[in-house]
Amino acid sequence: MMLQNLIFSLLLIAAAALFTRNIRQISQNIRLGKKFQLTDSKARRWRTMARVAIGQSKMGSRPVSAVMHLFVYVGFIVINIEMIEIMVDGIAGTHRSLLFTGAVYPVLISVFELFALAVILACVVFLVRRNVIRLRRFWNKEMTAWPRSDANIILVTEILLMSSILIMNAADGILQSRGHEYYAASGTFLISQLLQPLFTGLPESSLVALERSAWWFHIIGVLIFLNYIPYSKHLHVFLSFPNVFYSKMGPLGKMDNMPSITNEIKLMLDPNAEVPAPADGGEIGQFGAKDAADLSRRQLMEAYACTECGRCTSACPANITGKKLSPRKVLMDVRDRIEEVGKNLRRHGKDFSDQKSLFDRITDEELWACTTCNACSMECPVNIDPLGIILELRRYLVMEKAAAPGELNATFSNIENNGAPWQFSNEDRLKWAE
């Protein structure tokens, strides 16, 4: 047993170290973005996180997926409590270390098994929706082979991990009934007892091998899955909570003003106006966002927190009417680009530039197709704001590249020359009344 304990401990340390490194790299990538300040009440943010992230309040608009996701969400939390027992057993060489809870133990494990079954059923439904029914939002153009495979890998893995718990408990129960010295009596479990007839004909040695194999399969699978998460859309299981906490609380669609420009306008309107001294030495800096690092840290975290569910895209009127814009694709492009930037900086140093930008991934046509209706932001179950990213990219096109569509350029010229979006001068404005 000592060798098994040692192997388990080494695997646990290696998995934790690798996961820590991967999460640190993601954190470094997010920190490449611009800092932002929270100006509202933290209490309000905690309430929003409790309601939206923990309470899943925005999932209810699609009842079927809401119920299935609730099974997976609650199951993920509840079943991880059993991981405490598995880890203690793996390190200490014990078996069912929570048996000291007495009569509560079989009830506890039965609850775990019930949620394990619920997770299996929910994942099967999700697999059918994606691959048999083929819901349109899971097959948009941006959902190439990898995003689709990623979702299927996650669902199949969860089914296998939950099944291994039930098989492990079923074999364990039979060994208990046969009085095996290592398998102390722990009671009857709700779901796994239904599987026991499948294994009752096996000899004791085969049952021990089955129970141990299921135990190792589960824990190694969990450790591998843990380190798969940073490369997957499933990262939202960790980031959805901070993402909702730091999400935009003001009016959706409102652009953040650049302080240096605001101060210039105040001085232009009133030379005696009091404005704070510029913190950046008076440099105005770049307008809008050209690359991922020009976005705020909040927006980069949103890109990582996106679960690629496609609710934003399925609600987008531009996408519905056949335009190229997909808010989900914008978030995926931002995430892929900041990953690329971060990897280059770690490999070549902070002064390295690959001469690429977000505009190598996101076209002007996509950006200008947006009607700024906020449907995407309202639909997102974790309060991601794709519109904020789109507006920053537009700001760069207009103010740095002068690359707005002709209709907008004409409007800008009219406002500058006539003080209104129309082409008539102030003197001619009332001629319509004649």
pLDDT tens, position by position, 405-429: 888 888 888 888 887 888 877 777 7
Condensed to tens digits (0 to 9), the pLDDT of residues 255-305 reads: 888 877 888 888 888 888 887 776 655 566 789 999 999 999 999 999 999
CA distance 327 to 310: 8
Gap between the Cα atoms of 390 and 394, Å rounded: 6
Q: How far apart are CA 434 and CA 426, in angstroms?
A: 15
Q: Check whether 343 has a pLDDT greater than 90.
A: yes
Map tokens 């008539």 to a residue. 424
Counts for the chain of helices (H) and strands (E), in that order: 16, 0
The CA distance from 404 to 396, in Å, is 10
Closest CA to 192 of 207, 203, 206, 181: 207
Cβ pair 308, 143 in contact under 8 A: yes
Across the range 58-66, mean pLDDT stands at 89
| DSSP states along 157-201 | HHHHHHHHHHHHHHHHHHHHHTT-SSS------TTGGGTGGGTTT
For 264, the enclosing helix (H) or strand (E) is helix 259-269
Taking the domains of the chain in order of start, what are their residue ranges?
2-30+62-233, 259-274+285-418
Report the top-level CATH class of 259-274+285-418: mainly alpha
* CA–CA dist 10, 17 (Å, integer): 11
